[in-house]
């Protein structure tokens, strides 16, 4: 077996159906069906997938259900890594991502470029802007389904670029540094060297566990980073804590996750700066993105920042209202009034002195 792909799913029947189809032998191009396997790990879902439906997919699929699963996908990923039989193993920690048709072919090719290759892909959203921003504007699963239908998916998986937007992990564009990869491929021995992914990241959704895994992979001695040009994964709405939370909740989550990362690693998170090689081809639907990405990235990032500022302003107004309604605020009102009078008197005296000097 040349390649194993570990896919973690949690309460995402609609989304996982597309993800797994996009990894099937009838969808993936340029790779033999017997060259790879897909290991689906159910991470304690209350609405699990139907194993019989997975068995119908063309290719080699295995379904595992993790008993007593916690909120983090980290143990599920490590279970999949232990079950993997491929010389190269890919991890998709979020099973709500549709792959492009050449992902597995180029992942294998990339893994052969160097002795210690880290193969990564850019992350995308379905839709025209960051999904948490789109959700605030009324974007929902029904609209997303219409987008997917519009590009006649899965007849040509590369047409997803026509309805996609680079996600925050790639906010510096095609050739900038990336924070993580939601389709990360390493040789089996490199995963063993890493010790899998760190299960101390136990927050819902894993917190910074995927960022941590990518950083540690990039820091492996002698490792070379290869980014697949023209291949990627497209995130679908599924209520994820990292991707679909409202801006104010997301900001609070980020603070908690970064604090946990700092406790575990002993240093604040920093974007990995590593030399990158690029492999692949540029499908025609992606060309317009490639040409306009710098402007789109700037606009999307600014929109996201505006939404965050709006949320912070609303929170500040709430806090001010609570303070003004408090007993201590009412009791100190005379003191504040006196202070205001004193400031006004000092300002009046300063202006008066200025007029006297002019006369």
Q: What is the DSSP string of 218-247?
A: HTSTT-EEEEEEEEEEEEPPS--TTTSS-H
Residues 16 and 109 in one domain: yes
Q: Give the CATH number of the domain where residue 203 resides.
A: 3.90.550.10
Q: How far is CA 7 from the centre of its chain?
A: 15
pLDDT at 57: 98
pLDDT at 132: 84
Residues 232 and 346 in one domain: no
Positive/negative CA dihedral, 105, 110, 112, 118 = negative
Strand, helix or coil for residue 126: strand
Residues 280 and 349 in one domain: no
Q: Inter-axis angle of helices 247-265 and 209-218, to 10 degrees?
A: 50
pTM, full prediction: 0.80
Residues 231 and 124 in one domain: yes
Q: In 27-140, which residue ranges form alpha helices assigned H by DSSP?
A: 51-55, 74-83, 103-111, 131-136
Residue 322 belongs to some domain of the structure: no
**What total of structural domains would you count in the chain?**
2
Residues 180 and 85 in one domain: yes
Geometric angle at alpha carbon 120, from 131 and 132, rounded to 5°:
10
Residues 234 and 354 in one domain: no
> pLDDT in tens for each of the 359 residues of the chain?
999 999 999 999 999 999 999 999 999 999 999 999 999 999 999 999 999 999 999 999 999 999 889 999 999 999 999 999 999 999 999 999 999 999 999 999 999 999 999 999 999 999 988 888 888 889 999 999 999 999 999 999 999 999 999 999 998 888 899 999 999 999 999 999 999 999 999 999 999 999 999 999 999 999 999 999 999 999 999 976 656 667 778 788 899 999 999 999 999 999 999 999 999 999 998 887 766 655 555 555 555 556 556 665 666 676 666 666 666 555 555 555 555 555 655 665 665 565 444 44
pLDDT at 325: 65
pLDDT at 356: 44
Residues 205 and 303 in one domain: yes
The domain containing residue 251 runs over which residues?
A: 3-312
pLDDT at 359: 43
């Amino acid at each position: 077996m040349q390649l194993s792909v570990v896919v973690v799913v949690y309460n995402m029947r609609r989304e996982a159906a597309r993800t797994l189809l996009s990894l099937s032998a009838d969808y993936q191009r340029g790779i033999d069906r017997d060259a790879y396997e897909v290991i689906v790990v159910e991470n304690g879902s209350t609405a699990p997938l139907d194993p019989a439906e997975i068995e119908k997919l063309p290719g080699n699929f295995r379904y595992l259900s993790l008993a007593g699963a916690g909120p983090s996908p980290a143990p599920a990923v490590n279970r999949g890594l232990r079950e993997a039989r491929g010389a190269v193993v890919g991890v998709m920690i979020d099973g709500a991502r549709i792959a492009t048709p050449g992902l597995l072919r180029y992942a294998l090719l990339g893994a052969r470029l160097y002795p210690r290759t880290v193969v990564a892909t850019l992350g995308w959203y379905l839709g025209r802007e960051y999904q948490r921003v789109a959700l605030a504007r009324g974007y929902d699963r029904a609209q997303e389904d219409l987008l997917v239908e519009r590009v006649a998916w899965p007849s040509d998986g590369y047409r997803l670029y026509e309805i996609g937007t680079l996600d925050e992990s790639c906010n510096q564009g095609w050739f900038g540094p990336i924070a993580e990869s939601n389709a990360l491929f390493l040789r089996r021995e490199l995963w063993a060297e890493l010790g899998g992914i760190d299960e101390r990241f136990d927050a819902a959704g894993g917190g910074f566990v995927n960022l941590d895994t990518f950083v540690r992979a990039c820091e492996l001695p002698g490792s070379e980073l290869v980014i697949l040009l023209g291949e990627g994964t497209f995130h679908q709405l599924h209520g994820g804590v990292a991707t679909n939370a409202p801006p104010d909740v997301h900001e609070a989550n980020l603070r908690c996750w970064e604090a946990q990362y700092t406790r575990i690693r002993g240093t604040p998170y920093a974007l990995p700066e590593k030399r990158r090689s690029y492999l692949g081809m540029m499908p025609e639907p992606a060309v317009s993105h490639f040409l306009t990405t710098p402007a789109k990235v700037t606009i999307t990032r600014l929109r996201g920042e505006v939404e965050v500022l709006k949320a912070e302003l609303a929170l500040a107004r709430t806090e001010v209202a609570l303070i003004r309604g408090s007993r201590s605020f009412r009791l100190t009102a005379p003191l504040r009034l006196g202070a205001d009078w004193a400031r006004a008197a000092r300002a009046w005296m300063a202006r008066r002195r200025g007029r006297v000097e002019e006369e």
